[in-house]
Amino acid sequence: MTARLATTSAPKKGTVQEQLPQLFFEMGRLLKREMSRDGIQHDALSYLHMETMRYIEERTRAEGTPSMREVAVYLKIAPPSATALIDGLVRDGILERAPDPKDRRVVRLSVSKKGTKLMETMMQARAEAFSRVIENLSTKDCEELVRILSRITSTSV
């Protein structure tokens, strides 16, 4: 594992602001490569697709099926963009649409059985790939990485 990580690119130069985009890009590339070694198509479900499905699944368990608008708000995208995203997932049989029984103008979303199975497979594969990518980090380094990324994402608009 060390050799693979060491050969991904030349040492980073420049400011932190210049290094971070390259490092995030390389991290994504490492994850895709690790997943492809497991036979998982990295484009089977994008991170946006996975997060959409995760949100719908968790929201359904906690409060009931979300509407298209609620998904758009959660993802911080315009409703037409959410519709395009959802259309593809519905077409692939991963999500299902249903009219709201109280307001027929509202469309409710749920993850299909096929989508649930695919999501479980992909989440497991991504977790395993990520574990291999960070296996050379100490527990303390991993905890620090989570702390820093959590702080960044919790303060973003």
Buried residues in 18-46 as b, exposed as e (16+ CB within 10 A): eeeeeeeeeeeebbeebbeeeebebeebe
- 91-134 pLDDT per residue, tens: 999 999 999 999 989 999 999 999 999 989 888 888 888 899 89
Residue-range domains of the chain with CATH: 47-117 (1.10.10.10)
pTM for the predicted model, two decimal places: 0.74
